């Protein structure tokens, strides 16, 4: 009969909870809104940095958040095209078909959902990543402020 391995030589998945570490808090200002973003993208940029409350670092997270804002601009542009032209259009043989831009709306929304999961914009993602804006604010403010 075999015996269990000593803890120091075990490999594989951990059976216990992961070590708790304090969130990294960026205490500076959010980066300036990139000039090439449109109205929706600028609003998303500001909202994300404000909602992060120091949980995101301009050095490491700005490109993910920029991509997220650009995708929101793309989605808004595509939806405006669909609104102008109507949801249904005439296909090549005269049949009614859904506006071709809707395919790009769907793929853009898929990319947005992937980014939202990565940066913790859903309750499940925040729980999995251990990112809680209130916790980040508490750490940044210090114990004497509460």
**pLDDT, tens only, 80-124:** 999 999 999 999 999 999 999 999 999 999 999 999 988 888 888
Please list the alpha-helical segments (H only) found in the chain. Answer: 39-52, 58-85, 101-118, 123-129, 133-141
Q: How far is CA 127 from CA 47, 119, 120, 124, in A?
A: 20, 11, 8, 5
**Which residues have C-beta within 8 Å of that of residue 3, sequence separation ≥ 6?**
none
Identify the pLDDT of residue 21: 45
Average pLDDT over residues 44-60: 86
70 pLDDT higher than 50 = yes
Rounded to an integer, what is the distance from CA 89 to the centroid of its chain?
A: 33
Higher pLDDT, 33 or 3: 33
């Amino acid at each position: 009969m075999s015996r269990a391995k000593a803890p120091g030589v075990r490999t594989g998945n951990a059976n216990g909870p992961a070590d708790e570490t304090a969130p990294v808090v960026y205490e500076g200002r959010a980066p300036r809104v990139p000039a090439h973003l449109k109205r929706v993208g600028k609003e998303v940029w500001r909202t994300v940095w404000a909602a992060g409350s120091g949980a995101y670092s301009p050095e490491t997270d700005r490109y993910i958040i920029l991509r997220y804002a650009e995708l929101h601009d793309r989605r808004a542009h595509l939806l405006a095209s669909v609104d102008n032209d109507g949801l249904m259009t005439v296909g090549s043989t005269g049949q009614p078909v859904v506006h071709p831009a809707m395919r790009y709306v769907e793929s853009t929304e898929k990319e947005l959902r992937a980014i939202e999961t990565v940066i913790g914009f859903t309750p499940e993602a925040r729980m999995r990543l251990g990112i809680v804006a209130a916790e980040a604010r508490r750490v940044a403010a210090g114990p004497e402020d509460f």
